[in-house]
Structure 1
């Protein structure tokens, strides 16, 4: 097992272009250390000591959450997510990460009716600190095919017509099917990646339309992303301080 000199947030990334984006900004604002690893294809990855992990982030990616045979590291990620929630470590999943956490906690995974790509509104199902600043609906960036059911004991926070669980919380975990982490520069990386844009025509979108949508909705999304990710970072910071205090005893 690798060693962490101090409590840090562990970020699991599956492909180079699905990076943490805005999530990092909020961790850095609090001076929180983090480690970004890609373990998706490793059956026995070298991971930091679990007790030193102050928070867990699982990013998006093109694979399926249960493609364990092709990508054995996904099974490890599922086990990590379940373990993190069981001991109350702050845990955040985006898109594929949302599905990994959800299925680890008993949700069913299935193919969506059609790819959900582009900016479209999600409807708030239940109010929670994570999403307290928006009322009934807000347009967010979608980019996925698979969907999950409701994890065991979860509170569903948001939905769309085609995706009944757009966001959920259960214990210390928050899952979001949509992408609040994407900045303008990160969007450009996505638009340059052939595997990301291959389905645009099927949903009637062009790259320029996506850029226009981002410019239109980002002023509203920026404060929501700040609320969600700063809240997550604060939870990680509290957990890190508790870990550091226990290590000092």
Structure 2
């Protein structure tokens, strides 16, 4: 079976519980600092997962590998390769498909609900108004021809479907141990007050026992698409 390529941008925003749920060979790469990275052709992969990161999705000058990621995302959708973009990954996916990035559109950090507008073959297990983990200030518009799947008051495009690709602005990969890692990472919590950090921790203890099993089902459905491609 061809591997699933997972693109990461910083060490603390890895694939989390996505990778073990794929039931496929996984290749994790970080290419954000390389202007011309040697990325595989889409014919060589069975799926593509692009994770989050603190950089702006259009900051090609500071992070020249982002342009190569967007090209690969566009090629994957064109070739009908299953794609999952998470947070920054969703923004890169949206830009790859022609949507503008909305810098500093609105900050969402912590657990809060999103409204689901359309059923999706992969996102369905989350339900109609799931409480999910947000950690972003940038957003992306809906790409031309894409289907809006979920929104929040702050972020009108929380999830979208474009052919073989699913973009989610929120974080499906985080379980309790990964959340604790994030809450101890200065680059993530440096702008938060101690009581805000503690509130995220408390909300995680309340929400994750329900959210994690649903998110694992989402990953399983994405994995089924990957296995179909083989």
Fold shared, TM-score > 0.5 on shorter chain: yes
Question: More displaced, 220-229 or 74-83?
Answer: 220-229
Instruction: Tell me the distance in 2 between the aligned counterparts of 1:16 and 1:86.
Output: 29
Instruction: Tell me the distance in 1 between the aligned counterparts of 2:48 and 2:123.
Output: 20
Instruction: Tell me the distance in 1 between the aligned counterparts of 2:164 and 2:65.
Output: 22
String of CA shifts for 1:117-166, please: whole Å, max 9, x gaps. 00001001111222323443111000001011111110110000010000
String of CA shifts for 1:22-49, please: whole Å, max 9, x gaps. 101211xx3x101000000101112234
Aligned pairs (5 A) from 1:162-201: 162-201=154-193
Residues 56 and 90 in structure 1, CA contact (< 8 A), matched pair in contact too: yes
Instruction: Tell me the distance in 1 between the aligned counterparts of 2:40 and 2:202.
Output: 41
Instruction: Tell me the distance in 2 between the aligned counterparts of 1:101 and 1:135.
Output: 23
**Of 138, 141, 154, which residue of structure 2 is paired with 1:149?**
141
Residues 121 and 160 in structure 1, CA contact (< 8 A), matched pair in contact too: yes
Q: Secondary structure in 2 aligned to 1:93? A: strand
Instruction: Tell me the distance in 2 between the aligned counterparts of 1:181 and 1:234.
Output: 17
Question: More displaced, 168-177 or 217-226?
Answer: 217-226
In the TM superposition, what is the alpha-carbon distance from 1:51 to its structure 2 partner? 1.6
Instruction: Tell me the distance in 2 between the aligned counterparts of 1:205 and 1:197.
Output: 11
The question of 1:209 aligning with 2:199 is answered: yes
Residues 147 and 162 in structure 2, CA contact (< 8 A), matched pair in contact too: yes
The question of 1:233 aligning with 2:223 is answered: yes
In the TM superposition, what is the alpha-carbon distance from 1:212 to its structure 2 partner? 1.0
Instruction: Tell me the distance in 1 between the aligned counterparts of 2:125 and 2:8.
Output: 28
Residue ranges of structure 2 left out of the alignment (5+ in a row): none
What is the aligned residue count?
A: 230
**Of 184, 192, 211, which residue of structure 2 is paired with 1:221?**
211
Instruction: Tell me the distance in 2 between the aligned counterparts of 1:127 and 1:44.
Output: 38
State the TM-score, normalizing by the size of structure 1: 0.88
- Determine the structure 1 residue equivalent to 2:2: 7
Cα RMSD (Å): 1.4
State the TM-score, normalizing by the size of structure 2: 0.95
**Of 19, 29, 42, which residue of structure 1 is paired with 2:14?**
19
Aligned pairs (5 A) from 1:70-219: 70-201=62-193, 205-219=195-209
- Determine the structure 2 residue equivalent to 1:46: 38
Structure having the higher Rg: 1
In the TM superposition, what is the alpha-carbon distance from 1:112 to its structure 2 partner? 3.8
The structure 1 segments of at least 4 consecutive aligned residues displaced by more than 4 Å after TM superposition are none
Residues 131 and 224 in structure 1, CA contact (< 8 A), matched pair in contact too: no
